Structure 1
Amino acid sequence: EAAVTAKSLGLLAPADKARMAGYGSFDQVVDALETVVSDAGPWLLGERFSALDVYLGSQIGWGLQFKSLPERDAFKAYAGRLFQRPAAIRAREMDDALIAAASPGG
């Protein structure tokens, strides 16, 4: 999250000071994140969906949607699994209904 925010704001540390940022470089963070979602099972804890998936999945989904993360195959596959979960589908349906009700003429 910090690396994506720093990149979005144009505040990434120069290469010689990247270690001072606490996470290294943006590219290192993205590579590590890709490894994590690639090496896990369908979820970060293997077969078990957890709060970790909610948090990290939200970051990845947001990053893909707003182009603050590169569109790597592992990110797209992981986000796709998340967005197909029944709870995610229900949440989108509720959001869509609220948006429609708040829209002019809705």
Structure 2
Amino acid sequence: MRNHAVGWDPTPEMQGRFGYVSYAAVIDALAKAVAGRRYIAGDNFTAADIYVGSMIGFNLRFGTIEKRPEFEAYWSGLENRPARLRADAQMEKLASKRAWEPA
């Protein structure tokens, strides 16, 4: 997704070196993986959902992946989980204090 977002996709000759064929193939595979599923790895929320969900949510938010019904449905089941909302609130709190700057 990052390569594509900056305007670069591997040529057919280079595809084997990058672990994926093309951006389109990755997006199609991801859409198929989340289609009709609440969770990516079975019937329970797992760390895989944190990773996949955050990637989908981030990229939907910034428009770096196309809005597909599969992505929107999967993300809608994750975006309002209590722990995610708490983490967002904490990040906002730290950002407002500029917590990353030295005192």
Question: Within 2, Cα distance between the matches of 1:19 and 1:84?
Answer: 37
Aligned to 2:39: 43
Amino acid at match of 1:35: K
Find the partner of 1:57 among 35, 53, 60.
53
* Runs of at least 5 residues in structure 2 that lack an aligned partner in the other structure: 99-103
Tell me the TM-score normalized by structure 1: 0.79
Amino acid at match of 1:70: E
Aligned to 1:12: 9
CA distance change for structure 1 residues 39 and 77 in 2, over 3 Å: closer, same or farther?
A: closer
Q: Does 1:77 align with 2:64?
A: no
Find the partner of 2:24 among 22, 27, 31.
27
CA distance change for structure 1 residues 32 and 18 in 2, over 3 Å: closer, same or farther?
A: farther
Report the alpha carbon displacement of residue 56 of structure 1 after superposing the two structures with TM: 0.8
1:20-56, CA deviations, whole angstroms, 9 ceiling, x for partnerless residues?
A: 232111001000000001153x111232000000111
Select between 85-94 and 16-25 the one with higher mean Cα deviation.
16-25
Identity of matched residues, %: 32
* Aligned residue-pair number: 98
Amino acid at match of 2:53: G
* Runs of at least 5 residues in structure 1 that lack an aligned partner in the other structure: none
1:38-92, CA deviations, whole angstroms, 9 ceiling, x for partnerless residues?
A: 153x111232000000111111111111211111111111112111111111112
Question: Within 2, Cα distance between the matches of 1:86 and 1:77?
Answer: 18
Contact 1:18 1:25 in 2 (8 A): no
Q: CA RMSD in A?
A: 2.0
